Copies of this chain bind each other. A is one copy, B any other.
Amino acid sequence: MQSLEIIPVKGINEVKKGDDLASLILSACRKNNLRIEDGDIFVVTHKIVSKAEGQVLRLSSIVPSKFSVRSGHHVGKDPRQVEVILSQSRRLVKMVKGLIISETPQGFVCANAGVDQSNVESGSIVLLPKRPDESARKLRASIKRALKKDVAVIISDTFGRPWREGQVDVAIGLSGIDPFVDYRGKKDQYGYSLKASVICIADEIASAAELCMNKLDRVPVAIVRGLEYRRADVPARMLVRKPARDLFR
């Protein structure tokens, strides 16, 4: 085990629909004199991915349904926002004052189906990328093409947790990294065979990167360097508990 470094990538400006994200990120790296190395893990907040992919709606264009109007009043949210949340959900998990938790078509369980109004032009609302794994794969391939470096890409979002206060960043899109380290059956130094330890390093990496980002200062990318990990392409829906293992279904 060596030291890890978490490097914020500053200087990425406003991202617009159709922008080439890889170019923007790599040009910011150059401005920061940051040489990319094989094995670097790029953690990218989903928001700039969504913006580049045009996953942004104008609230003024949304016509809420009767249900969205009624439940919007009930939970204390703009009915148009509720309409967007429903359009990005496949199952509602909880709906109480100020809070809608739902399951997205990608399988994520999170507040507001992952849509939000921060860090975007006033009056707009940002959705999750449609296929975050594919977004990650494309970004990784572009970086490989541009620099001949084999990196991993994690697309992150900020999620709440049922049993603990506060939010943490987790992985919602992956490419080039096995998200799990599975210790099951491995023996510790006492010869005890570990039974249940499967660590979700993808979420830990997303959380680590968040420490270098900042919701006010526009640092939407960080590089995690020095970690040994297994290369693999595992879809991020593997990070979502299967219904049969879900502790609350």
Tell me the smallest distance from the CB of A113 to a CB of chain B, in Å.
Answer: 14
Interchain CB contact (< 8 A) of A165 among B180, B183, B214, B217: B180
Tell me the smallest distance from the CB of A148 to a CB of chain B, in Å.
Answer: 24
For chain A, the bracket of interface size reads 35 or more
Q: Are A117 and B165 in contact (CB under 8 A)?
A: no
Assess whether A170 is interfacial by the CB under 8 Å rule: yes
If A1-B219, A3-B8 are given as contacts, then 12 extra A-B residue pairs at C-beta distance below 8 Å, sorted by A number, are A1-B8, A1-B10, A3-B6, A6-B208, A109-B163, A111-B196, A122-B191, A163-B246, A167-B198, A167-B200, A207-B207, A208-B208
Interface bits A1-40 vs B (CB < 8 Å: 1, else 0): 1111111101000000000000000000000000000000
Assess whether A139 is interfacial by the CB under 8 Å rule: no
Q: Are A199 and B168 in contact (CB under 8 A)?
A: yes
Tell me the smallest distance from the CB of A10 to a CB of chain B, in Å.
Answer: 7
Q: In the assembled complex, which residues on chain B have CB atoms less than 8 Å from the CB atom of A192?
A: 117-120, 122
Tell me the smallest distance from the CB of A154 to a CB of chain B, in Å.
Answer: 13
Number of copies: 2
CA A119 to CA B224, docked complex, whole Å: 28
Assess whether A58 is interfacial by the CB under 8 Å rule: no
Interchain CB contact (< 8 A) of A210 among B111, B204, B212: B204
CA A15 to CA B53, docked complex, whole Å: 52
Closest B residue to A245 by CB, please name it: B165
Which chain A residues in 73-128 approach chain B with CB under 8 Å? 94, 101, 109, 111, 117-122
Assess whether A241 is interfacial by the CB under 8 Å rule: yes
Known: A164-B170, A165-B245. A158 touches B208 (CB 8 A): no
Assess whether A231 is interfacial by the CB under 8 Å rule: no
Q: Are A183 and B120 in contact (CB under 8 A)?
A: no
Closest B residue to A122 by CB, please name it: B190
Q: Are A212 and B168 in contact (CB under 8 A)?
A: no
Q: Are B94 and A247 in contact (CB under 8 A)?
A: yes
Q: Are B109 and A167 in contact (CB under 8 A)?
A: no
Interface bits A231-249 vs B (CB < 8 Å: 1, else 0): 0000000111110011110
Assess whether A44 is interfacial by the CB under 8 Å rule: no
Tell me the smallest distance from the CB of A224 to a CB of chain B, in Å.
Answer: 8
Closest B residue to A225 by CB, please name it: B3
Which chain A residues in 181-200 approach chain B with CB under 8 Å? 183, 186-192, 194-200
